[in-house]
Chain A
Amino acid sequence: MSLIVNFLIGFFILAGAFLCLIATFGVIRLPDVYTRNHAASKATTLGVMFILVGTFIYFYSFLDHFNSRLILGFVFLFMTSPISGHLINRSAYNSGVKLWDRSVRDDLKTYNEAKEKNRF
């Protein structure tokens, strides 16, 4: 039993750290704001969540301490991180940051142009 718990803790902490590392690589490597935001907003969410779960299991099984703040942090992270990703993307798009030049299509641009045309 203790062996399984040890293994779980190690797995969660290492996987979380690995995901955060991947997110960093993604932010450095990917070409434009939007694709970087993909890496940053997804991989770090799950990475930090894994680290929190590993910490929670550690404190619960070894020190017999049920830390509800970790669970709250988990839930808050889950609720807020997609919205922050969305807002960064939206403000980047509205202030005219260009897509990567190898992007395939842009439906939002056609939608905005149609809206402008209808207004005047």
Chain B
Amino acid sequence: MSLQILLNVVLAFLWMFIKVSYGPIDFIKGYIFGLLVIFVLRRYFQTRFYVYRIWSFVKLTLIFFKELLLSNIAIIKIVLKPKLDMRPGIFALQTDLTKDWQILLLSSLITLTPGTLVISVSDDNKILFVHAMNLGEIETEINNIKNTFERAILEVSG
């Protein structure tokens, strides 16, 4: 991905040198033309066309904000309820992610989402221990996390 971006910047500079004008507008024009060239030649690269990956990163950020809002609404509900009748607990979450930065991202996402907080990561980086504020059905919670966050992170890295 970084190789493609670097190539795109080089193509933009090439465009500026061909036009013999060095303003930011020319850079942007050259960047767009370079993007077109890379899109045409995309099957010669090892990785995907990099705009897809940037798009999935934007999607991940949007998911993050949405979940942050929902988690705050859940916290407000629990705190302002007259009776403390939540059922906290720690559950184990098997994760398919392998790289360190993916696990870091996943645990930050879990920490900022409704009613869950990561306590510990097992030594072999395969299990996350998550403290849940309101432990309903564990299976559904795990499936929620898996379907939204893990898939989004895998899309960014894949």
Contacts and interface: CB of A to CB of B under 8 A. Distances in A.
- In the A-B complex, the 4 residue pairs with the smallest Cβ-Cβ separation, listed nearest first, are A82-B111, A104-B89, A107-B92, A26-B79
Interface string A10-24: 000000000100110
Interface stretch (B16-24, B28-36, B80-88, B143-151): B80-88
Contact of B88 (A42, A46, A100): A100
23 contacts: A19-B76, A25-B80, A26-B75, A29-B79, A29-B84, A34-B117, A34-B119, A34-B131, A39-B75, A42-B75, A46-B68, A46-B69, A46-B72, A86-B119, A90-B120, A94-B120, A103-B87, A103-B89, A104-B88, A105-B135, A106-B89, A107-B92, A108-B90
Interface in B60-85: 68-69, 71-72, 75-76, 78-80, 84
A111 B126 CA distance: 12
Interface of B: 68-69, 71-72, 75-76, 78-80, 84, 86-92, 107-108, 111-112, 115, 117-120, 122, 127, 129, 131, 133, 135
Looking at chain B's contact residues, the main secondary structure is: mixed
A25 B135 CA distance: 22
B117 A41 contact: yes
Given A25-B79, A108-B129, A37 B89 contact: no
Contacts of B129: 107-108, 111
Contacts of A102: 87-88
A10 to B, nearest CB: 18
Contacts of A90: 119-120
Interface residues of A, number: 40
B108 A22 contact: no
